[in-house]
Amino acid sequence: MNESIDLLTKILDCTAMRQRVLANNLANANTPNFKRMDVKFRDALAEAIDSRGKESIRDVNPTVVEDTDAAATGDGNTVSLQKEIGEMGSNALLYGFATKAVSKKLAGLSKAIKG
Amino acid sequence: MPEISLMPSLGISASALDAETRRMEVIANNVANANTTRDANGKVYRRRAVVFAAQLADAIDSSGTGKQFKGVGVQAVVEDGRPMSRDYRPGHPDADGNGYVTMPNVNTLEEMVDMMSASRSYEANLAAIRTAKGMASQALEIIK
């Protein structure tokens, strides 16, 4: 029970941070030589769940990395409006899923308490 | 791990709205002065352009994951160094002995394209604000 709340909270933290980084990319869509950034947490989270036991989920920290695969335009900028908007949409969906799942968990708990 | 708030993301997008508005003002000023042969200093108007710069806080992020993003800002408004155009207009008050007038180096077409780009960027940042707002209200749903 608690582990899944831990995991969902971690997902909420990571997606909230990713929203911030994606918003920053969009804000700098016209800044010369700006390189788009992204947040990595999926692999670390999956590894924590698979191999190191559920307690280690709390120790996973999202990392902000420069996206080196994105193509640069003439002014050295690697931000693409449509990519940021798309990523933002899927990120918001994941966030929405995690909030729904947390409320369901809490609703279940409260049902157990009240009987 | 310290909590991560959605609120900074609103500030980041707002900074971009500010910057794009400033860019739009400069573009409008260029178009308005496309035929100005005497500016405030009595010289031919020179096209101006904004320089955007990413804003980063030097302090390490509260979560210890690197620098804190603060969006974008207008670092400077600079003059365009490209040569002025020379038009043959003998009747113009500022024409030289041969009937040529030095006109501003403003290309209205170029300004229009810049204006569209500024407007699209503005919209995209508004969409980012809407997304962050939606996420925050979903988070509020948890305690309902």
Percent of chain A residues past pLDDT 70, beyond the cut: 95
The two beta strands, A63-66 and A37-40, are antiparallel
The DSSP code sequence of chain B is -----SHHHHHHHHHHHHHHHHHHHHHHHHHHTTT-SS-TTSSPP--EEEEEEEEEEEEEPTTSSSEEEEEEEEEEEEE--SPPEEEE-TTSTT--TTSEEEE----HHHHHHHHHHHHHHHHHHHHHHHHHHHHHHHHHHTT-
Tell me what pLDDT residue B6 has.
73
DSSP one-letter code for A60: -
B46 at interface of A, judged by CB pairs closer than 8 A: no
DSSP one-letter code for A69: S
Tell me what pLDDT residue A99 has.
94
Number of domains in chain A: 1
Distance from CA of B26 to the nearest CA of A (A): 15
All residues of chain A having their beta carbon less than 8 Å from the beta carbon of residue B71 are: 23-24, 27-28
CA separation for the pair B94, B28 (Å, rounded): 24
The DSSP code sequence of A48-97 is HHHTS-GGGGGG---EEEE--SSPP-TTS----HHHHHHHHHHHHHHHHH
Tell me what pLDDT residue A54 has.
65
Facing residue for A13 by CB, picked from B4, B72, B141? B4
Give chain B's residues under pLDDT 70.
Answer: 1-5, 57-67
| Mean pLDDT of all residues in A38-51 | 86
| Mean pLDDT of all residues in A4-16 | 89
Q: Is the pLDDT of residue A13 over 50?
A: yes
Contact B124 A89 (CB under 8 A): no
What residue type is assigned to position A99 of the chain? T
Tokens of A6: 């831990």
Tell me what pLDDT residue A96 has.
94
What residues contact residue B9 under an 8 Å CB cut-off, 6+ apart? A16, A19, A20, A23, A24, B128, B132
What are B51's strand-pairing partners? B76
What residue type is assigned to position B21 of the chain? T
Tell me what pLDDT residue B40 has.
86
- Asked whether A89 and A39 are in contact (CB, 8 A), the reply is no
The boundaries of the domain holding residue A86 are 2-114
Q: Which residue has the tokens 């940042």?
A: B125
Contact B5 A16 (CB under 8 A): yes
DSSP one-letter code for A106: H
Tell me what pLDDT residue A35 has.
92
0.90 surpassed by complex ipTM? no
Confidence grade of residue A22 (pLDDT, cut at 50, 70, 90) = very high
Q: Per-residue pLDDT tens for A55-101?
A: 778 888 888 888 888 888 888 999 999 999 999 999 999 999 999 99
Facing residue for B138 by CB, picked from A29, A85, A95? A95
What residues contact residue A60 under an 8 Å CB cut-off, 6+ apart? A10, A41, A44, A45, A48
